[in-house]
Amino acid sequence: MANLQIRLDDSLKNQAQAVVQDMGLDLSAAVRLFLAQMVKENGLPFRPTNEPFYSAKNQEVLRRSAAQIESGQTVTKSLEELRSLE
């Protein structure tokens, strides 16, 4: 049997440990399950996404809207304008 050593943030490790403990597992078992599923699917067992909410374009729109609100201006967007942000 092989050993696997990884370096990660203490907070991430502790949070992950709490999640798997609630499932009745330990972190080693969870990592083994992840690796087994990765081999079975011949890829990551989840689909990485790039959430558009966090895009630079959307963040700039949010900053401008927040500035307008703070200055007392009303922020009005049409449905077409909102859809164009996607």
2 inside domain: no
Tally of domains within the chain: 2
pLDDT, one tens digit per residue, over 5-48 is 999 999 999 999 999 999 999 999 999 999 999 999 999 998 87
Identify whether residues 58 and 37 lie together within a single domain. no
Q: Please give the Cα distance from 43 to 28 (Å, whole number).
A: 20
Evaluate if pTM is beyond 0.75. no
Q: Please give the Cα distance from 48 to 31 (Å, whole number).
A: 18
85 compared with 3, residue with greater pLDDT: 3
Identify whether residues 37 and 57 lie together within a single domain. no
In terms of residue numbers, what domain contains 22?
10-41
The reported pLDDT for the residue numbered 37 is: 96
Identify whether residues 36 and 60 lie together within a single domain. no
Identify whether residues 80 and 61 lie together within a single domain. yes
1 inside domain: no
